[in-house]
């Protein structure tokens, strides 16, 4: 079973592409929606969250984890790989940043724009990875308001189009724009209207790279029954209702998790109402 981890709903757009490319594989999706958005968090908090989510996926039997969140892939992927997936380990953790950088370089004429969360941009990871591949110029813009807007379901509103246009207007002269947040593909019409550059959604390229990787490393996962399971750290009913917008179809069931002693475990009770005393 392949684990797919994201800060909330956005990674479901990656899972959709993975499922299309690998229909016979079993997947477990973990959306840390109760603690989203990640983009404005400090690095230590992100490492804590990433460890808890990765450990939960391993506990559930995933030998391979795909970090679908660009923020975590940019900030914490190396930490996760060193902590849990050394050369002698039977586990592997892969990210989305390198496939995105490779895809951008392949189609760019020399000036790549990157739009993502504050933490993704501050990490400089896209500049580093693109620089390893080609001497392309890289311009970046943090867009902290876009992911929460999509989580709210406002991607088809005038305010969404205005916000996208405002952010994109600051990326002067780019020929390719990387959507470096898994929420942003839902804003694709707004990006197309606001930007003359080629717009790159990395998700299909991530799926292609994972398929190629599994052919070369079949020991880390085997074909299954095509089953998809999901877990989240927020209200599972709300999560199911909004997941369809990202995933393209309904999730059959969602298990709710809560943090207990630094671990994510199944939630024993429903979301509290009224006053809460501990």
Asked if 101 contacts 170 with a C-beta cutoff of 8 angstroms, the reply is no
pLDDT digits (tens, 9 = 90+) for 12-33: 999 999 999 999 999 999 999 9
Asked if 206 contacts 229 with a C-beta cutoff of 8 angstroms, the reply is no
Q: Is position 74 annotated as part of the catalytic site? A: no
Task: Let me know how long the chain is.
Answer: 278
Contacts of 168 (CB under 8 A, 6+ apart): 115, 141, 177, 191, 194, 195
pLDDT digits (tens, 9 = 90+) for 248-269: 999 988 999 999 999 999 987 6
Contacts of 20 (CB under 8 A, 6+ apart): 207
Active-site hit among 53, 62, 74, 181: 181
Architecture of the domain delimited by 97-201 = 3-Layer(aba) Sandwich (3.40)
pLDDT digits (tens, 9 = 90+) for 43-64: 999 999 999 999 999 999 999 9
pLDDT class of 271 with cuts at 50, 70, 90 = low
Average pLDDT score over residue span 145-154: 92
Average pLDDT score over residue span 144-164: 94
Percent pLDDT > 70 in the chain is: 99
Average pLDDT score over residue span 114-123: 97
Nearest alpha carbon to residue 181 among 52, 47, 10, 4: 10
The arrangement of strands across the sheet holding 137-142 comes to: 137-142, 111-116, 176-180, 198-200
Average pLDDT score over residue span 36-45: 93
Answering whether pTM is above 0.85, one says: yes
pLDDT digits (tens, 9 = 90+) for 131-140: 999 999 999 9
Q: Is position 181 annotated as part of the catalytic site? A: yes
The arrangement of strands across the sheet holding 254-260 comes to: 92-94, 64-67, 2-6, 27-31, 228-232, 254-260, 263-266
Active-site hit among 69, 74, 195, 232: 69
The yes or no reply on domain 2-95+205-266 and CATH 3.90.420.10 is no
What does the pLDDT read at residue 94? 98
CATH 3.40.50.1860 residue ranges of the chain are: 2-95+205-266, 97-201
pLDDT digits (tens, 9 = 90+) for 198-249: 999 999 999 999 999 999 999 999 999 999 999 999 999 999 999 999 999 9
What does the pLDDT read at residue 274? 83
- 225 phi, psi to nearest 5 deg: -110, 5
| 87 pLDDT higher than 80 | no
Contacts of 161 (CB under 8 A, 6+ apart): 190, 193, 194
Asked if 102 contacts 205 with a C-beta cutoff of 8 angstroms, the reply is yes
| 181 pLDDT higher than 80 | yes
Write out the H or E segment, with its range, that includes residue 6: strand 2-6
Q: How far apart are CA 104 and CA 25, in angstroms?
A: 27
């Amino acid at each position: 079973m392949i684990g797919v981890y994201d800060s909330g709903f956005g990674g479901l757009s990656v899972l959709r592409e993975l499922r299309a490319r690998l229909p016979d594989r079993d997947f477990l999706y973990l959306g840390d929606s109760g603690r989203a958005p990640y983009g404005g968090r400090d690095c230590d908090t992100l490492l804590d969250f990433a460890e808890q989510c990765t450990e939960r996926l391993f506990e559930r039997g995933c030998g391979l984890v795909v970090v679908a969140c660009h923020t975590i892939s940019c900030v914490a992927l190396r930490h996760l790989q060193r902590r849990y997936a050394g050369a002698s380990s039977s586990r592997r953790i892969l990210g989305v940043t390198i496939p995105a950088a490779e895809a951008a370089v392949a189609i760019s004429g020399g000036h790549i724009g990157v739009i993502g969360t504050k933490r993704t941009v501050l990490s400089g990871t896209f500049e580093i990875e693109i620089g390893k591949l080609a001497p392309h110029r890289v311009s970046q813009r943090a867009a902290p308001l876009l992911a929460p807007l999509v989580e709210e379901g406002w991607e088809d509103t005038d305010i969404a189009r205005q916000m996208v246009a405002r952010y994109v207007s600051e990326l002067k002269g780019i020929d390719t724009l990387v959507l470096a947040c898994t929420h942003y593909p839902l804003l694709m019409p707004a990006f197309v209207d606001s930007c003359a550059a080629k717009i790159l959604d990395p998700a299909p390229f991530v799926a292609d790279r994972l398929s190629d990787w599994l052919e070369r490393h079949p020991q880390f996962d085997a074909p299954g029954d095509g089953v998809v399971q999901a877990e989240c750290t927020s209200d599972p009913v709300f999560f199911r209702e909004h997941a369809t917008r990202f995933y393209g179809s309904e999730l059959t069931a969602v298990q709710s998790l809560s943090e207990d002693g630094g671990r994510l475990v199944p939630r024993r009770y429903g979301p509290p109402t009224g006053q809460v005393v501990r």
